[in-house]
């Protein structure tokens, strides 16, 4: 054997030893297989063969595939849950109070003008898929801007419109809106610190934008 051949053999063996050592059967698979071996005894009879077949169904790849499918399913469910409706409900106390909130898809708000909602004080005025709302916020031609004073409540913000109307923005709504607007934390803090806010509403009364205002609301005397 030539010297160069010997060197190649040494290199090959060294490479093989190292590579094999670094690439053993993964521990998780090894444990699973060892458990399967231990759990399976002499599959001589039909039912035992059937058990073995069932065990083979739980192969590493099948388990991975099943996990992926489950994860997709759960992800889909979560996505479904996140498809909330932007809902504005209104009640009449001393003056109208509008509550802006996101309602899960599973419990859609009662649409306006249906017989059932006429009896309740709270009237669902507007229901729309959040996605539609986002689209509307881009396309809306009818916009209205007004300056409101803001108060914090346990459940979010109360926006007072010249003591003629109150808008209640729930914490969930604010969180969603914050996400949708891509506000950074400093921007959010600035908004939090301001007593007055300028809101932009769309055709259906939905809030499209929120920003701080240096001027107080210009209310009629």
Partner 1 sequence: MGWKQISGRLGLAKAQSQQWMTDYQQTGDQALLAKLFMLHADALYFFLLRQSNAELAADISQQSWLKLLEQRQQFQGGCSFKTWLFCLARNALLDEFRRQQRWGLSEISDITETTLFSEAEPNSAEQQLSQMQQQQQLESAIQQLPVLQQESLLLQLEGFSLAEIALISNSNTETVKSRLRHARTRLVSLMEDKP
Q: Which residues bind partner 1 (CB under 8 A)?
A: 2-5, 7-16, 18-20, 23-26, 29-30, 32-34, 36-38, 40-43, 49, 52, 55-56, 59-61, 64
Q: Which is nearer to partner 1, 54 or 220 (CB)?
A: 54
Provide, rounded to whole angstroms, the least separation between the CB of residue 27 and partner 1.
11
Element (H, E) at 5: helix 3-22
Residue 193's H or E segment, with its range, is helix 185-193
Angstrom distance (rounded) from CA 217 to CA 144: 14
Closer residue to partner 1 (CB): 64 or 192: 64
20 versus 138: smaller Cβ distance to partner 1: 20
Structure tokens at 35: 């458990």
Report in angstroms how near the CB of residue 73 gets to partner 1 at its nearest.
21
Which residue, 43 or 96, has its beta carbon nearer to partner 1?
43
* C-alpha distance from residue 131 to each of 3, 120, 165 (Å): 73, 28, 27
Per the structure block, which two tokens stand in for 85?
A: 């409706």
In angstroms, the Cα distances linking 207 to 20, 89, 114, 140 are 63, 13, 24, 11
Determine the Cα–Cα distance for residues 37 and 76; give it in Å rounded to an integer.
36
Minimum distance of partner 1 from residue 14's CB (angstroms):
7
- What is the smallest separation between the CB atom of 69 and partner 1, expressed in angstroms? 15
Number of neighbouring beta carbons within 10 Å of residue 133 = 22
Measured distance CA(190)–CA(160) in Å, rounded: 19
CB of 133 to partner 1, least distance (A): 43
- Specify the residue, 8 or 70, whose C-beta has the smaller distance to partner 1: 8
Minimum separation from the CB atom of position 47 to partner 1 (A)? 14
Cβ closest to partner 1, residue 14 vs residue 77: 14
């Amino acid at each position: 054997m030539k010297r160069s051949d010997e060197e190649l053999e040494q290199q090959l063996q060294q490479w093989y030893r190292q590579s094999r050592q670094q690439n053993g059967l993964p521990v998780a698979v090894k444990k699973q297989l060892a458990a399967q071996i231990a759990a399976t005894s002499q599959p001589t009879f039909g039912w035992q063969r059937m058990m073995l077949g069932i065990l083979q169904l739980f192969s590493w790849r099948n388990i991975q595939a099943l996990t992926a499918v489950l994860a997709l399913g759960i992800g889909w469910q979560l996505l479904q849950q996140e498809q909330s409706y932007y809902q504005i409900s209104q009640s009449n106390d001393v003056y109208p109070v509008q509550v802006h909130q996101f309602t899960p898809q599973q419990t859609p708000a009662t649409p306006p003008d249906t017989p059932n909602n006429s009896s309740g004080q709270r009237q669902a005025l507007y229901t729309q898929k959040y996605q539609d709302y986002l689209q509307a916020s881009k396309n809306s031609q009818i916009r209205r801007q007004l300056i409101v004073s803001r108060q914090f409540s346990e459940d979010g913000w109360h926006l007072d419109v010249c003591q003629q109307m109150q808008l209640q923005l729930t914490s969930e709504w604010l969180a969603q809106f914050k996400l949708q607007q891509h506000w950074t934390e400093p921007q959010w803090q600035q908004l939090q610190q301001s007593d007055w806010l300028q809101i932009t509403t769309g055709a259906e009364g939905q809030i499209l934008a929120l920003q701080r205002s240096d001027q107080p609301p210009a209310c009629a005397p």
